[in-house]
């Protein structure tokens, strides 16, 4: 039993580190009953102050019944009787009732639970008519200016002991046991929280109570991960689908089954902008290789909901639309192949991607499949050719120009088309959105940052 250690613990925390220790945090730290913890605090307080007066300061909880004439309790409705205070019986049709009010008012017992500083203890006691109990609430090295800091202690304690299941340990702490506590079991495949610091869940609990895993940080972290690496996730999708086929898909709670489609579209908006380029630029061998290389099983569980074959296929090319007919998809694959070939010898291939020279069997599948709520598709970044001659930087760069023309039917059509523009040093170079292709392989992740930031802040706590 840790009882013997409590003096060391308290001396270390209260005297050396000048922390505030409450009976609950002590009880949690030493795994003892709260009553015992209260006694330990008292004992420590007593003995330390005997050694050296005022070295330790305490706060107390006083429970009991406060004296009635106190103005606060008089205004609490216990004071005046109901009918006799001069307010006229306002509604005649109601006057038949309310016979019991006087008696009902009188026997309202108001008991109090007060938190009191050590130096106020006697004052506080004198306001009580009857004191049921007094115990030490916390110990600290100096007088607390603001009692509210005690809540921070408890918040911290809760965070440190978050992994302890209150249902199992409650008895040790002296918590009142609920007989019929029900927690959701099953229904949801265990989603291991991608564990930001304190929420490390022990595996035993995981196994026993999958639902326990819905720790607070989960949704946030989940999305964080999603945003951070949209590509690997989508690629690795087929793999966990097989792995987890024992979890009944129908048992997934509704709140989770709803999003997958939208999530897909969110990804595709990221994926369209950055990860595709990553794939193309870095000329990663083939998609299956990436697939097996990224076993990100944890967050996959979230998407798995109704991952049908169709979905998987789509996810291989996240920029393709959901409603895209399979024929187009084939041509798109061909196109991708050609692109990859081109990519080998030409660093600038990706401009052609949107150019007219492309074998354009399917008329711009991106456009037809674009979800409405997506941000406008990112234009390929302006490209520039820079020549440095005699210390002067000159060159031309490709920019996207807006052109408005009237078409055959008389509508105004605005098209953006790439055009070349020359510039020299005195013109400020446009902010380099794109780093040279050499670093492209390592770049894809950092490039995804802005997206990540946005989604994160959506869920972030302040």
C-beta closer to other proteins: residue 249 or 290: 249
What's the rounded Cα separation, in Å, for the pair 303 and 228?
Answer: 15
Strand residues in 338-391 grouped as ranges (E)? 383-389
Asked whether the beta carbons of 40 and 10 are under 8 A apart, the reply is yes
Smallest distance from the beta carbon of 100 to other proteins, in angstroms? 4
Under DSSP, is residue 367 helix (H, G, I), strand (E, B) or coil?
A: helix
Smallest distance from the beta carbon of 313 to other proteins, in angstroms? 27
Give, for 328, the enclosing helix (H) or strand (E). Answer: helix 326-345
Q: Which of residues 42-71 bind other proteins (CB under 8 A)?
A: 42-43, 46, 61-66
Smallest distance from the beta carbon of 36 to other proteins, in angstroms? 6
Alpha-carbon separation of residue 32 from 6, 29, 35, 39, 284 (angstroms): 10, 8, 8, 11, 57
What's the rounded Cα separation, in Å, for the pair 374 and 269?
Answer: 6
C-beta closer to other proteins: residue 73 or 282: 73
From the list 181-189, 317-325, 338-346, 439-447, the region that binds other proteins by CB under 8 A is 181-189
Q: Which of residues 1-30 bind other proteins (CB under 8 A)?
A: 3, 6, 23-24
Q: Which of residues 421-450 bind other proteins (CB under 8 A)?
A: 450
What's the rounded Cα separation, in Å, for the pair 375 and 127?
Answer: 64
Q: Which of residues 213-272 bind other proteins (CB under 8 A)?
A: 214-216, 218-219, 253-255
C-beta closer to other proteins: residue 88 or 391: 88
Smallest distance from the beta carbon of 393 to other proteins, in angstroms? 31
Question: Between 134 and 163, how does the x/- string for binding to other proteins read (CB under 8 A)?
Answer: xxx------xxxxxxxxxx-xx--x-----
How many residues of this chain interact with other proteins, rule: CB under 8 A?
Answer: 117
Under DSSP, is residue 268 helix (H, G, I), strand (E, B) or coil?
A: helix
Q: Give the number of C-alpha atoms closer than 13 A to the C-alpha of residue 172, restricted to the C-beta side.
A: 16
Smallest distance from the beta carbon of 207 to other proteins, in angstroms? 16
Among 235, 198, 237, residue whose Cα is nearest residue 215: 198
Under DSSP, is residue 136 helix (H, G, I), strand (E, B) or coil?
A: strand
Q: Which of residues 351-380 bind other proteins (CB under 8 A)?
A: 373, 375
- Please pick, from the candidates 50, 71, 84, 180, the single residue that binds other proteins as defined by CB under 8 A: 180
Output DSSP code: residue 403.
Answer: E
C-beta closer to other proteins: residue 3 or 293: 3
Residues 6+ apart with CB under 8 A from 225: 194, 233, 296, 298, 299
Q: Which of residues 80-139 bind other proteins (CB under 8 A)?
A: 80, 82, 85, 87-88, 90-94, 96-101, 104-105, 107-117, 119-120, 123-124, 127, 129-136
What's the rounded Cα separation, in Å, for the pair 148 and 141?
Answer: 16
Q: Which of residues 182-201 bind other proteins (CB under 8 A)?
A: 182-184, 187
C-beta closer to other proteins: residue 258 or 441: 258
How is the beta sheet containing 21-22 ordered, strand by strand? 21-22, 128-140, 57-66
Smallest distance from the beta carbon of 435 to other proteins, in angstroms? 21
C-beta closer to other proteins: residue 11 or 175: 175
C-beta closer to other proteins: residue 223 or 314: 223
């Amino acid at each position: 039993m840790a009882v013997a250690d409590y003096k060391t613990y308290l001396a270390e925390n209260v005297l050396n580190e000048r922390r505030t220790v409450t009976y609950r945090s002590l009880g949690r730290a030493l795994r003892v009953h709260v009553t015992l913890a209260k006694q330990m605090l008292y004992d420590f307080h007593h003995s330390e102050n005997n050694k050296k007066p005022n070295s330790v300061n305490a706060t107390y909880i006083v429970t009991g019944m406060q004296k009635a004439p106190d103005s606060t309790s008089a205004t609490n409705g216990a004071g005046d009787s109901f009918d006799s205070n001069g307010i006229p019986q306002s509604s005649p049709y109601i006057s038949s009732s309310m016979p019991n009010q006087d008696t009902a008012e009188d026997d309202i017992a108001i008991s109090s639970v007060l938190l009191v500083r050590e130096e106020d203890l006697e004052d506080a006691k004198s306001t009580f008519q009857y004191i049921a109990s007094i115990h030490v609430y916390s110990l600290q090295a100096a007088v607390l200016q603001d009692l509210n800091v005690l809540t921070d202690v408890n918040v911290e304690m809760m965070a440190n002991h978050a992994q302890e299941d209150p249902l199992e340990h409650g008895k040790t702490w002296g918590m009142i046991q609920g007989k019929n506590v029900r927690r959701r079991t099953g229904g949801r495949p265990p989603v291991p929280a991608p564990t930001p610091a304190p929420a490390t869940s022990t595996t035993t609990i995981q196994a026993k109570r999958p639902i326990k895993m819905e720790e607070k940080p989960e949704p946030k972290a989940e999305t964080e991960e999603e945003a951070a690496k949209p590509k690997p996730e989508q690629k690795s999708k087929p793999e966990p689908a097989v792995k987890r086929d024992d979890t009944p898909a129908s048992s997934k709670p509704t709140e989770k089954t709803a999003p997958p489609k939208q999530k897909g579209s969110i990804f595709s908006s990221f994926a369209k902008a950055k990860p595709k380029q990553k794939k193309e630029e870095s000329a990663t061998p083939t998609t299956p290789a990436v697939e097996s290389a990224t076993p990100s099983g944890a967050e996959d569980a979230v998407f798995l909901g109704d991952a049908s074959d169709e979905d998987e296929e789509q996810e291989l090319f996240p920029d393709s639309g959901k409603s895209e007919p399979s024929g187009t998809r084939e041509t798109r694959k061909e196109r991708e192949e050609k692109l990859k070939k081109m990519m080998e010898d030409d660093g600038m291939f990706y401009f052609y991607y949107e150019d007219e020279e492309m074998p354009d069997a399917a008329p711009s599948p991106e456009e037809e499949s674009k979800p409405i709520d997506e941000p406008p598709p990112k234009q390929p970044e302006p490209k520039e050719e820079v020549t440095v001659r005699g210390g002067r930087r000159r060159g031309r760069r490709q920019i996207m120009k807006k052109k408005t023309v009237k078409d055959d039917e008389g509508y105004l059509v605005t098209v953006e088309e790439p055009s070349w523009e020359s510039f020299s040093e005195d013109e400020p170079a446009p902010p380099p959105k794109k780093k040279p292709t050499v670093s492209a392989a390592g770049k894809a992740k950092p490039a995804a940052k802005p997206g990540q930031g946005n989604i994160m802040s959506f869920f972030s706590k302040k």
